[in-house]
Amino acid sequence: MSVADVATLTLVKLKEYTSTTFVKATRGISRSEFMRRSRKAFLVCLVVGVAAHAAGFLFYRSTVTQAHDSFYQHGVATTRSLAQECRPFVLEKDVLMLKVALRSAEKADGLVYAAILDHKNQVLTRTGPEELTRTLLPLNGQVATGSLDGTEFMDLITPDAQPLTLFSLPVTYSNIDIGKVMLAFSAEPLQQALSRLRATYLTVTTAVTLLLIGLLLGLDRRQKKRSKDLIQRLGTVATIGPYHLISKVAAGGMAELYLADYIREDGFRRRVAVKRILPHFAAHEDFVHMFIREARLAALLQHPNIVQVFGYGKIADVSFIAMEYVDGKNLGEIISGMKAGVPIEPAVFVFSEICKGLEYSHTKADDQTGARLNIVHRDISPQNILVSYQGEVKISDFGISKARSEPSLTQAGVLKGKLMYLAPEQLTGEDADHRLDIYALGLVFYEVLTGQAAYRFDSEIEAIRSIPSVRIEPLKVRNPRVPDELDRIVMKCLEKNVATRYQSAGGIYADLAAFKRAHQIAFDAADLAAVLKQHFKPAAQG
C-alpha cells in the first residue's frame, strides 16, 4: 500500500470515527433524562443564546469597523489638509512657512511624527523624534497596506515596540509630484480601545451564556421537583376519576397497565384495563402527546378483534387510557407455554381472527369524509395479540400505529416497533405501507407454528443489516406436520418483495378459509377457549 493510500485510508477512518462519535454524543444528549424533562426550555434558551450571541457579534464587528474607519479617516483628513496647505511652500521650498504648516498639523490627536519631503524625497522639515526619521524614511515608496482617497497608509511597529500608522500623500502641482507629506499617528489608543471593546464583548457574551445556563438549570430544577412531586403523588393514586385501580398487570417503557373497575354513580360496574403513563414521564409533554395520540387513534377502531378503548384523558395530572380488559394470555405467553408450537387448528383460527382485525384497520374509512385512513399497526408481535379464556382474539397496543392523514412522529432513520418483527422495507428506507403488518404477522405465525422465531441475531446492528436479505427456512423444515398449503400462506406473508407478498390481510383470510374448508377444520372460539384453559389456569378474579 502506497503512502498516499495509507493517508487516504487514515483520513477516511478519522472521518468515520469523528462522525460516529458526534452521532453517539448527540444521541446520548437527546435521550438523556435532562433533555426529556426540559427539551423545550433547552431549545428556547438555545435559540435565545444563539440570537443574543449573533447580535452581540454583529454589534462588536460593527463597532470595531467604526473605530478603524474613524482612525483612518482622521489620519487621511489630516494628511490631505497638510498637503493642501503646504503645496505653494514646497514649490518655493519656503522652509519657514512649511514649519508653520507643520505646527498647525501638530494639533491633530495622536500625531507623533510629521515630515515634508521634496521631489527627491529629501526632508525639507519635520516634527518629531529624529529616531523616527531613520525608521520611517526608508519605508518611503514601499507597498502600502491600504489607501483611502489617494492617501496611502501602512501599519508598523517601531524598534521600541510602539505601534504606528504611517500616512503619505504626494504634493502635486499641475499634476506633477513636487514633494510628499508623511504623518505617523500612534495606533496605541486605537488598540487600547479595541482591547477594551473585546474584553467587554467577551464579558457580556460570557454573562449571557451563564445567565441562560442558570435560567435553564433553574427551570430544570423546577421541572425536576414538579416531576418528583408528581411521581410521589401518582404512586399513591388508587383511583383515576371513576376508575378504581385493583392491581398492576404489566409495565412497559412508557406506561403501566392496571386491572381496574369502572364504577358509575348509578352503581354500574365494569371490569376494565387502565393504561397509565409512567409517573416519571407524566410531566413530559412529548410523551403525554404520544400517549394521548395512541388513545385517540385506537378509539377510532371498533371491531371484535381489536381491543376497544372506552375512554381516555387526563385527570389530576394523570394521563390514562381505559380499555377493554381481556382476561387471558398474549401469544408470547402461549408460545412459551406450548414449547413445541401451537397445534395447527387453534393456530389457523387465531391467524384468521387477526387477519379480520388487520383488514378492518387497514381499510377503516373516515366517518366524515369517507376517505380510507389506512391505519397501520406497525408493532404486530406475539405480545400484542391477546387470546381470552372465552376464545376471543384481539389486537392490542396501537401506540405506534400511523394513519395516512397524520405526520410521522418518528425522525428519519429512527425505527419504531420490536426489531425482530420489522419488515425489510422499514430497514432499507423504502416507502412502507400496511403490508409491513402482513410481514410481521407472517413472522408471528411462523413462531406460533414452530415454537421458534424465524431468525435470531446477536445484536441490533446484525439484525438491521441481515433482515432485508436473510433467507427464512420454509415452515415445513421446522415443523413437518404443517400442510403444504399453510406453509405457502405463511411463506407468502414473508416475501421480501412487497409486490409478491400478500397485498391485504383480507387475501390471507380468504386463503385460510379455503384451507379450512379443504381440511374440514371447524375449530371455533369455544374450542380455542378449551385449549387455553387446558394449558393455562385462569387467574382468580377479585
| The one-letter amino acid at 86 | C
pLDDT for residue 203:
94
pLDDT band per the 50, 70, 90 thresholds, residue 211: very high
Q: Is 73 a residue whose pLDDT tops 50?
A: yes
pLDDT digits (tens, 9 = 90+) for 282-307: 767 777 777 777 778 778 889 999 99
Q: Is 20 a residue whose pLDDT tops 60?
A: no
Query: What's the mean pLDDT in 419-432?
Result: 85
* Pick from 189-203, 314-328, 380-394: least confident: 314-328
pLDDT digits (tens, 9 = 90+) for 109-168: 999 999 999 988 889 999 888 888 887 877 666 777 888 888 999 998 888 888 999 999
User: Angle CA(173)–CA(176)–CA(179) in degrees, nearest 5?
Assistant: 75
CATH no., domain 328-535: 1.10.510.10
Beta bridge partners of 257: 250, 275
Q: Which comes out higher in pLDDT, residue 539 or 425?
A: 425
156 phi, psi to nearest 5 deg: -150, 165
Residue tagged active-site, from 5, 160, 177, 379: 379
pLDDT band per the 50, 70, 90 thresholds, residue 232: low
Residues whose CB is less than 8 angstroms from the CB of residue 311 and which lie 6 or more positions away in sequence, other chains included: 321, 322
Report how far residue 536's alpha carbon sits from residue 529's, in angstroms, rounded to the nearest whole number. 10
How far out from the chain centre does Cα 541 lie?
Answer: 46
pLDDT band per the 50, 70, 90 thresholds, residue 54: very high
pLDDT band per the 50, 70, 90 thresholds, residue 280: low
Residue 168 and residue 180 in contact, taking contact as beta carbons nearer than 8 Å: yes
Rg (CA), the chain: 41
Give CA separation, 185 vs 118, 137, 159, 346, 397, in Å: 21, 15, 16, 99, 79
CA dihedral 234, 235, 241, 246 (to 10 degrees): 160
Q: Is 380 a residue whose pLDDT tops 70?
A: yes
User: In this prediction, what percent of the chain has a pLDDT beyond 90?
Assistant: 45
pLDDT for residue 190:
93
Report how far residue 266's alpha carbon sits from residue 106's, in angstroms, rounded to the nearest whole number. 103
Residue 379 bears catalytic tag: yes
pLDDT for residue 320:
84
Nearest Cα residue to 294 out of 402, 380, 399, 417: 399
Query: What's the mean pLDDT in 439-457?
Result: 92
Q: Which comes out higher in pLDDT, residue 286 or 462?
A: 462
Cite the residue boundaries of each domain of the chain with CATH code 3.30.450.20: 86-190
Report how far residue 135's alpha carbon sits from residue 534's, in angstroms, rounded to the nearest whole number. 108
| The one-letter amino acid at 51 | A
Cite the residue boundaries of each domain of the chain with CATH code 1.10.510.10: 328-535
User: Angle CA(79)–CA(85)–CA(86) in degrees, nearest 5?
Assistant: 90
pLDDT for residue 201:
93
pLDDT digits (tens, 9 = 90+) for 479-497: 999 999 999 999 999 999 9
Q: Is 235 a residue whose pLDDT tops 60?
A: no
Pairing of strands 239-240, 243-251: antiparallel
The highest-level CATH class for domain 86-190 is alpha beta
Highest mean pLDDT among 27-36, 408-417, 523-532: 523-532
Report how far residue 172's alpha carbon sits from residue 179's, in angstroms, rounded to the nearest whole number. 7
For cell 397497565, the residue is 257
Burial 399-416, CB ≥16 within 10 A → b, else e: bbbbbeeeeeeeeeeeeb
Order of strands across the sheet with 393-395?
328-330, 385-388, 393-395
Residue 485 and residue 518 in contact, taking contact as beta carbons nearer than 8 Å: yes
pLDDT band per the 50, 70, 90 thresholds, residue 539: low
pLDDT for residue 516:
95
Element (DSSP H or E) covering residue 182: strand 176-186
CATH no., domain 241-324: 3.30.200.20
Grid coordinates representing 238 are: 388508587
pLDDT band per the 50, 70, 90 thresholds, residue 411: very low
pLDDT for residue 37:
65
Cite the residue boundaries of each domain of the chain with CATH code 3.30.200.20: 241-324
pLDDT band per the 50, 70, 90 thresholds, residue 18: low
Report how far residue 67's alpha carbon sits from residue 169's, in angstroms, rounded to the nearest whole number. 22
| The one-letter amino acid at 106 | E
Angle between helices 525-535 and 344-363 (to 10 degrees): 120
- Contacts made by residues 191-197, CB under 8 angstroms, sequence distance 24+: 191/163, 193/67, 194/64, 194/67, 197/60, 197/63, 197/64, 197/67
Give CA separation, 383 vs 332, 375, 396, 420, 534, in Å: 5, 19, 9, 12, 20
Q: Is 343 a residue whose pLDDT tops 60?
A: yes
Q: Is 98 a residue whose pLDDT tops 70?
A: yes
pLDDT band per the 50, 70, 90 thresholds, residue 459: confident
Grid coordinates representing 156 are: 508598523
pLDDT band per the 50, 70, 90 thresholds, residue 404: very low
Q: Is 345 a residue whose pLDDT tops 90?
A: yes
Average pLDDT of the chain, as a whole number: 84
